[in-house]
Amino acid sequence: MVSQQDDAPEAGYDPMRQFAELAGDVRDPYPMFAGIRADTPVLHVELGAGSGVRYRHDENAPRISSLFTVTSYELAQQVLTDNARFSSAGYEMTMGQVMGRTILQMDAPEHQRHRALVAKAFRTRVLDQWSDAIIGATVGELIDGFAGDGHADLIPQLTFPFPVRVIARILGLPEADWPRFLRLSTQLIAVMRNWEGALAASRELRGYFAEIIADRRRHTRDDLVSQLISAEVDGHRLSDEEIYPFLLLLLPAGAETTYRSSSNLLFGLLSNPDQLEAVRADRSLVPQAIEEALRWETPLLTVARSATEDVELGGVRIPAGSFVAISLGAANRDPGQHAEPDAFDIFRERTQHISFGDGAHKCLGMHLARLEMRVLLNAVLDRLPGLRLDPGADDPHIHGLIFRSPPNLPVRFD
Ligand code: HEM
């Protein structure tokens, strides 16, 4: 088993700084999205032959010369549920370069086959087992670290470490390895910022996972890696080469999104104290608070597809092969779907959102994400009485254009 070394590079490593940089310093992209949506539901930007952006950071990578961005809820749904005309294969040029072949980049029928195998490990029966033993225990330990202080910054002290630790536990990784796992996870996730660092982290994680998988093949345990090894659909099982990419995908897909969505939920409630008090008094409101937070500030703003044939969408012609960005953030704030979309309102009639995507690739971890947010919010309400934003906090806010969440959340409690 691989364990942390004394001279490990995680000493002095500050993952929070890397994440703050990654989110970008855009405070409020929503007026821009609203302007585009009012103008056209599908924005076409021609970048010009030879001058377009690259999918990946090498000289030979193809350039994208034409971009289509979908901003309406209805059309976003239409694209995401039409996997025949809008393929996910383009992820091979981005995420695929650091993770290997994941289900994210597969199209039918390969996608269905593969997803059925990994989905077995995310059934609600399995999740129920994790609820107290893993998720509750993780939140409890983190809150223990500051509950006696009367104040905290909920991002570095709670929401940031929370989901990576949950994943480390779900995978059954020894506690001594967590700091190293956290560093490698953060470097992998920061792929848009530091390509070489992400590739190096991916190689190291692969070596690390190889030992874990070999260990579980020898001694089956009650963890996700053992479940992936034994999952079987129509006589097919996952090979090690198929398990690595899935484990690597869990980090950006499962850790970063959940840290940001939990942070946005706490931010939404703390900046609307009447709604925070309503949820504190009536916990049956927790699920709708979670859905509204996901709608209001989706942690991941955009997903991508490419057109497999010439398509007409919202009156705009999209040539075969074009890159199509689906703005989940813009779709969630579409006034055609939600009245007063910019308001955080847990009492709105419909909180239906598209933050987990839609169609065949709809988030595999959405039940886990909701469970994590629920356990976290209930623990915060139970253990931090009188929770409020620190009146001396220096301008708490949500920011980001690729991912969104608050960089800090200083609070006080009694
Ligand atoms: C609030 C938290 C989360 C959000 C907002 C989120 C969002 C998304 C979105 C939008 C997609 C679709 C991507 C696309 O269609 O291109 C997706 C897919 C996926 N998510 Fe999540 N996710 C969250 C949490 C999680 C968690 C906790 C896990 C697992 C530990 C997870 C695992 C996955 C996987 C494996 C896929 C790929 C599914 C496929 O391609 O079939 N996600 N997620």
Overall size of the chain counted in residues: 414
What pLDDT is recorded for position 143? 98
Say yes or no: CB of residue 98 within 6 Å of ligand 1. no
**C-beta atoms surrounding 171 within 10 Å:** 19
pTM of the model: 0.91
* CA–centroid distance for 140 within its chain: 22
Question: Quick check: CB of 257 below 6 Å from ligand 1?
Answer: yes
What share of the chain has pLDDT > 90, as a percent?
A: 65
User: 386: CA distance to ligand 1 center in Å?
Assistant: 34
Eight-class DSSP state of 303: E
Residue 5 CA, ligand 1 centroid: distance in Å: 32
Tell which residue, 411, 136, 126, has the closest CA to residue 269: 411
Categorize the per-residue pLDDT at 17 as very low, low, confident or very high, splitting at 50, 70 and 90.
Answer: low
Q: How far is ligand 1, taken at its centre, from the CA of residue 8, in Å?
A: 31
For the stretch 229-256, pLDDT in tens is: 998 877 888 899 899 999 999 887 888 8
Question: Nearest 5 degrees, angle CA 355-CA 360-CA 365?
Answer: 50
Using alpha carbons, select from 199, 214, 201, 259 the residue that is nearest to residue 16: 259
Instruction: Decide: helix, strand or coil at residue 365.
Output: coil
Going by alpha carbons, the residue nearest to atom 17 of ligand 1 is 363
What are residue 43's DSSP bridge partners? Answer: 69
User: Which alpha helices (H) appear in 61-120, and where do they start and end?
Assistant: 73-80, 95-99, 110-119
Which two three-digit tokens encode residue 149? 């202080």
| Per-residue tokens: 229 | 């090894």
Tokens 């991941």, residue located: 300
> What is the per-residue pLDDT across 46-95, written as a single tens digit (0 to 9) for each?
876 554 554 445 555 555 667 899 999 999 999 999 999 999 998 888 78
pLDDT in tens, 297-356: 999 999 999 999 999 999 999 999 899 999 999 999 999 999 999 999 999 988 789 999
